[in-house]
Amino acid sequence: MNANRKSMLTAAIVNRAVRDSFIKLNPKSMMRNPVMFVVEVGTVVVLLMTLLPGYFAAKDDIGFNLTVFFILLVTILFANFAEALAEGRGKAQADSLKNAKKEIQARKRVGAQSVVIVASTELRKGDIVVVEQGEMIPGDGEVIEGLASVDESAITGESAPVIKEAGGDFSSVTGGTRVVSDRIVVRIASDPGESFIDRMISLVEGAKRQKTPNELALNTLLTSLTLIFLIVVVTLGPIAGYLDIELQVPVLIALLVCLIPTTIGGLLSAIGIAGMDRVTQFNVLAMSGKAVEAAGDINTMILDKTGTITYGNRMASEFVPVGRESVGELAALAAIGSVRDETPEGRSVVELAKKLGLAYDEAIAAGGEFIEFKAETRMSGVDLTDGRQVRKGAVDAVKKWVAAQGGTIPADLDAGSDSIAREGGTPLAVAVDNRIYGLIYLKDTVKPGMRERFDQLRKMGIKTIMCTGDNPLTAATIAREAGVDDFVAESKPEDKIALIRREQAEGKLVAMTGDGTNDAPALAQADVGLAMNSGTVAAKEAANMVDLDSDPSKIIEVVSIGKQLLMTRGALTTFSIANDIAKYFAIIPAMFILAIPEMSVLNVMGLGSPRSAILSALIFNAVIIPLLIPLAMKGVAYKAMSASKLLGRNIVIYGLGGVIVPFIGIKLIDLIVHLWV
């Protein structure tokens, strides 16, 4: 759990929620919640009967009608308060982001070297800007040149700066963050109004929150129940009149309000909003409530290795020559092939050569044509001006490239590669034309605590699969150390998509975490795609969740919150329907007991009088909503257990409890109400 979670409630949030409770009385707002809209219509009817007693009711009923009106009004306000309170924290965060968002002066590059000062609002997608130490990054984009330490506390809440660099999966930057050291050149990736902060503001405000499929289905059920009971109550009046039983309209409205599922109707929206807000409290930005809900039903989790399970900063630690080649010659060629490689691995090769004092001629590579790394070729390098082609990359890819040019494979190449892989490292082969000179030993380390995290997922019934472009031996070593259930080695972007589709074809919901551009297609295909904020813009746009802390193990909290959301909705629905039973025993005998004395046998609670029984049931119906707000906001605690055990547990606690609590509550309220009715 996040130790830095902010308090759920503050005085400002509560005060704002109270104000919004009255604003939400607007019929246009209420119509979005059919259950509570019916209650509001009933409230207006009772108000008219109170204000115009000569037309609608006897004067001696004014006091009773006025009391019913205030109880119904309070019921609606409590329901609105629940929703407003759930929205409150998101609005407070949105206000904070709006305050943090301000116009920034940007140094836009024009031509090869010259720059002009422009406002950040004038920047468009594709523009190039230069940002130096102490300056704010004017917009979302990707670092295309340089390396810098960036303070992202305005977005993530974490004070520790992060390293952003050209190339690799740590190149994306967010507008409004500040460069702490060094200098970077950024290519803007969004137009004004479409930045990451703009998206965060609209999402945390809840303005664009769409109901999830589960929520829509439950809403349909509640609407259907409301319509059925409305028909029942409307027809009950004429039927009672035919039997010479007078049923007053406020009594019928009270019956309707107690029959329809007002408790869950008043809390349903708050549960969904609070679920998304709980995700936000863990510094995860959910693009939709559907993603949070789907997380609760995840069966399989697919994780990218680099930057997700491991730190991802694979650094060159050793040059391993093969055949009759020397360390010096291997290091010189590896460095020449990496001089213009801006990835962390490429720079580490040059740094290792310098550290070991192995000489190389940088000028040889200066005039050559740099060949960028591609997922398809899994190699990079440089074509020199003297015609030689230098390549470094995955061992099998370099072997195929050399073989295609008629070269031979050194006998000790595979042994050296396997030795590096068994130690958990990544071997890169270095070749020039048709000749392999040796291997570069890249080291990567598993993030601490990953094994324990995966054990937790296993207990939740979630299978973990690691996808990596590494060879099978390296993948097996990392998988064993991290504790994942399965792994796929030498995987390409299309392999990840194929794996996700295969799992989905078996009826499973799949989650995917990643941070690179090559992860974007898989993140889009997955039911829940969690992108790291430190990753590329493409990855964040493809995913339906973004982890601002760039902690891939955060998916465990997301899954727990998703399960909490589903459990909370189910538990409160069970409670709401169950507690209607007690209200039936309170109101129905009260309606008919004067005309049909035999119905007193149904007055099992021994309520004082018909009117006190009706008012007591209405008051309980109103006060139960705010009493359940903390549970709706916090969520039902998730415990790893089978679905059948979970169902049985909820039926006992919320089903049986939903029957018992109203009997006790209504009786206690009646003892007080009966004194003055």
The response to whether 182 counts as a known ligand-binding position is no
The pair of three-digit structure tokens given for residue 396, joined into one six-digit string: 């099998």
Are 425 and 443 in contact by the 8 Å Cβ rule? The answer is yes
The active-site residue out of 304, 470, 547, 580 is 304
SS3 content of the chain, % helix, strand, coil (to 5): 55, 15, 30
Q: Closest by alpha carbon to 599, among 590, 608, 612?
A: 590
304 included as an active-site residue? yes
DSSP 595-647: T-GGGGGG-TT--S-HHHHHHHHHHHHHHHHHHHHHHHHH-PPP----HHHHH
The response to whether 378 counts as a known ligand-binding position is yes
Beta-strand pair 369-371/315-321: unpaired
The response to whether 375 counts as a known ligand-binding position is yes
Residue type, 607: L
The response to whether 519 counts as a known ligand-binding position is yes
Number of Cβ within 10 Å of residue 519's Cβ equals: 32
| CA 236 to mean position of chain CA atoms | 47
The response to whether 379 counts as a known ligand-binding position is yes
Quote the CA–CA distance of 95 and 72 in Å, as a whole number: 33
The pair of three-digit structure tokens given for residue 293, joined into one six-digit string: 């809900």
Quote the CA–CA distance of 70 and 6 in Å, as a whole number: 35
- Site of tokens 């019928």: 252
The response to whether 20 counts as a known ligand-binding position is no
Beta-strand pair 510-514/141-151: unpaired
Query: Is the backbone of residue 193 left (phi > 0), alpha (psi -120 to 50) or beta?
Result: left
Quote the CA–CA distance of 25 and 44 in Å, as a whole number: 11
Quote the CA–CA distance of 493 and 317 in Å, as a whole number: 28
Instruction: Give, in order, the Cα–Cα distances in Å from 557 to each of 142, 280, 547, 553, 672.
Output: 29, 11, 11, 8, 45
The response to whether 573 counts as a known ligand-binding position is no
159-190: burial string, b at 16+ Cβ within 10 Å, e else = eebbebbbbbbbbbbbbbbbbeebebbbbbbb
Q: Closest by alpha carbon to 477, among 489, 461, 463?
A: 489
Annotated binding site for ATP, which residues?
341, 345, 373-380, 392
Annotated binding site, which residues?
341, 345, 373-380, 392, 515, 519
Annotated binding site for Mg(2+), which residues?
515, 519
* Catalytic sites, residue numbers: 304
